Structure 1
């Protein structure tokens, strides 16, 4: 069994425990307004951002202490916590039917979303880190991550298109049944995967496995990524000292490396603004589709269309990374997002079918951004700390989702969805320009340093020739 089966199971669970139907679930079942729905999802995002690096670090620590089982146990814990929190929405609704609009009841729903996201923080970075570790142990390239991740996209589409008709027939309450069933499916899949990996001679996550050259390869960034990371002497020394330092210092060391250059800051800023934009699409888009007269079945179909374009991008991710690098894929993701959301604002009511022509761009945005960000984090994290690296970067970017959702629900309630999407297109454009400018400036700096080093080499050779000439004249 490979990590692709884990991605298939986890993303099936994501859909059946809400997925993109979360916002309509909160408005129809929990009776939250669009503003409160945006706030609840924003609090969910910030809570997840706070615990992402913690979840990754705990998973790495447990994997060291309990080889072959640490990350899997963390994964199951997160899935169980999130499933429990989601099912409690039904309990709150059942016992508050006469007073569903009270502040206490609404606060309970918001708190449950925060608990749900806390569990999710122990799932996503751990799953990504486990996959990267698996690829290294199996002798594969980290760039092959996309080939495993695409199975998550497939299950996301299949589960969405199946769930849509059930919601149309039985209502959003069907999610309260599908979520625990999906958790059981994930539990069995993780258990089987762990059992198979335990019997492997080179178990996942064993920091002592592998040769010294493999360790150095995991620490040193890829040469073709020199423009992106530019990890010069001091940062490499920090990475090399990581295994000998206390675990609590590692997050700060990674943070220093991630923000160590102007280009890295530009990349994170672009990811930050794109996260603001994609947050309202991922969480609030089905509310907009409902305003256009869409059914849940049609909403599920839009997910299939996006995934159809995600799959080939994830499949070709190694070649795309080699051809473009993480920075260009990030720029492509931004351009696709801007085109898509601006197009939304020109779709008239009761013309939902026109959305299907724009949905492929979401597949481009998500696949390119995810591939780019995972690769960026993978190249800064040494072997054995893959989950920590993924959690740190996702945590930084997650702050953008919190801000995006906090403003998005209010903007949609106050000014309407068209103004909201045009505003976020502008925000993403600013991040794109920042990334482009920082990339150009960084390349110029590297060229200048290269010329300066060449000049120093020439001066050294000239001084050596002069010394030899003087010595020869002295002997004569």
Structure 2
């Protein structure tokens, strides 16, 4: 069992190494290749749209046919091939088609491996955050490696790093055990079960409001950082510290969740996010932004592992992958798309600091929704205990 835990940790490290190798530098590669700002924006906007459409599909198929391992191997391979083909693409149309396919296959991976990991750690009485933290480490290291390698041999190297990391993940995925969860009666009945769980729906909305701005910040941070007087080189340092700060928080997230409750810590995460964005909107110095890098760890490092565990504990076991996939599509896909478009409109009309005021307001509303959800669940628990007496 411990060997499986190590394999899952290695899988997360390599998976997010692949993400970190290409995501921060993709727009720069496309710009250097000669694409216009409109073309780059159109291409990057296609990602959230595709993930919104296909992530629930991958989850429902995986649950219905118990094909987690097969889908992982297939989608990892095809995503790696799509990434490697970027090195030979030479037109906007080719880049767009490849990016759509890359996101199409990539969207299946995280919800499935999350569900597999959550099932495993429950069996061995382990902690999801202690495994997921390797993803944060992989992303942080990849940003540094890709940046230096790109300077040395060119930006095309980001796709070789991405493809190589994903192909190694294929080898790990083949060795993972089959979960053997109860079989869902049908795809649509499984979806219907989820939509009848009120706490799941409220949680999705809150995640949409909190995590959408967190992801959108990845696109707008460089504009913000240079607007407050920071150097372009400092953006890479900031991302390295931000991503690296998530790992130690993930390590202890499960322990704190048992002591203080999952919703309490997710409320803390949303509140810290709101405070962080309000502080950014106040136009702080670049030095203070870097100095307070741990705010990223508290917000993201708490939110990611505890949110996945909360969904597992509040949804039927036979639709676990579907539940994680819909959460990913709603928070990472739709949330990111809406936050990015709203931020772009505010940027054009009122400037970059108004964008961060919007991020703060959205995160605060999400945190308030989670407080109301926590109060409701506490009241339900009290009523149940009362009826037992």
TM-score, normalised to structure 1's length? 0.71
Please name the residue that 2:167 is paired with: 187
- Determine which of 47, 50, 53 is the counterpart of 2:50: 47
| Superposed counterparts of 1:228-243, under 5 Å | 243=183
| Distance in structure 2 (CA, Å) of the matches to 1:244 and 1:122 | 18
1:256, CA displacement in angstroms? 1.8
Contact 2:17 2:165 in 1 (8 A): no
Please name the residue that 1:253 is paired with: 193
- Determine which of 50, 54, 59 is the counterpart of 1:56: 59
- Determine which of 102, 105, 109 is the counterpart of 1:119: 105
Please name the residue that 2:25 is paired with: 21
Q: Does 1:267 align with 2:203?
A: yes
| Superposed counterparts of 1:285-304, under 5 Å | 285-291=221-227, 292-296=229-233, 298-304=234-240
Q: Does 1:336 align with 2:260?
A: no
Question: CA offsets per residue over residues 171-229 of structure 1, 9 Å max, x none?
Answer: xx52x33323432333234324524x4xxxxx33134xxxxxxxxxxxxxxxxxxxxxx
1:112, CA displacement in angstroms? 4.2
| Distance in structure 2 (CA, Å) of the matches to 1:19 and 1:161 | 12
Question: CA offsets per residue over residues 63-95 of structure 1, 9 Å max, x none?
Answer: x3xxxxx43432233334434444555545x35
| Distance in structure 2 (CA, Å) of the matches to 1:414 and 1:37 | 21
| Superposed counterparts of 1:386-405, under 5 Å | 386-397=320-331, 398-405=333-340
| Superposed counterparts of 1:77-476, under 5 Å | 77-87=74-84, 89=86, 91-92=88-89, 94-95=90-91, 105=92, 109-136=95-122, 139-141=123-125, 144-168=127-151, 174=155, 176-195=156-175, 197=176, 203-207=177-181, 243=183, 245-257=185-197, 260=198, 263-291=199-227, 292-296=229-233, 298-347=234-283, 352-383=286-317, 385-397=319-331, 398-444=333-379, 446-447=381-382, 451=386, 453=387
| Distance in structure 2 (CA, Å) of the matches to 1:61 and 1:244 | 5
1:145, CA displacement in angstroms? 0.9
| Distance in structure 2 (CA, Å) of the matches to 1:299 and 1:412 | 19
Contact 2:17 2:138 in 1 (8 A): yes
SS of residue paired to 1:432: helix
| Distance in structure 1 (CA, Å) of the matches to 2:32 and 2:356 | 23
Contact 1:9 1:155 in 2 (8 A): yes
* Stretches of structure 1 lacking an aligned partner (at least 5 in a row): 65-69, 96-104, 198-202, 208-241, 458-476
Contact 1:163 1:300 in 2 (8 A): no
Contact 1:164 1:299 in 2 (8 A): no
1:361, CA displacement in angstroms? 0.8
| Distance in structure 2 (CA, Å) of the matches to 1:443 and 1:244 | 30
Contact 1:132 1:386 in 2 (8 A): no
- Moved >6 Å (runs of 4+): none
Contact 1:381 1:388 in 2 (8 A): no
Give me the CA root mean square deviation: 2.9
Aligned length: 382
Distance 1:184 1:110, change over 3 A: closer
| Distance in structure 2 (CA, Å) of the matches to 1:180 and 1:74 | 22
Contact 2:84 2:163 in 1 (8 A): no
Q: State which drifts further: 45-54 or 79-88.
A: 79-88
| Distance in structure 1 (CA, Å) of the matches to 2:139 and 2:312 | 24
1:431, CA displacement in angstroms? 1.9
Q: Please say which structure displays the higher CA radius of gyration.
A: 1
Q: State which drifts further: 412-421 or 361-370.
A: 412-421
SS of residue paired to 1:316: helix
SS of residue paired to 2:196: helix
Question: CA offsets per residue over residues 324-354 of structure 1, 9 Å max, x none?
Answer: 2221121111122122222223446xx5433
| Distance in structure 2 (CA, Å) of the matches to 1:89 and 1:183 | 10
1:445, CA displacement in angstroms? 5.3
1:428, CA displacement in angstroms? 1.4
TM-score, normalised to structure 2's length? 0.85
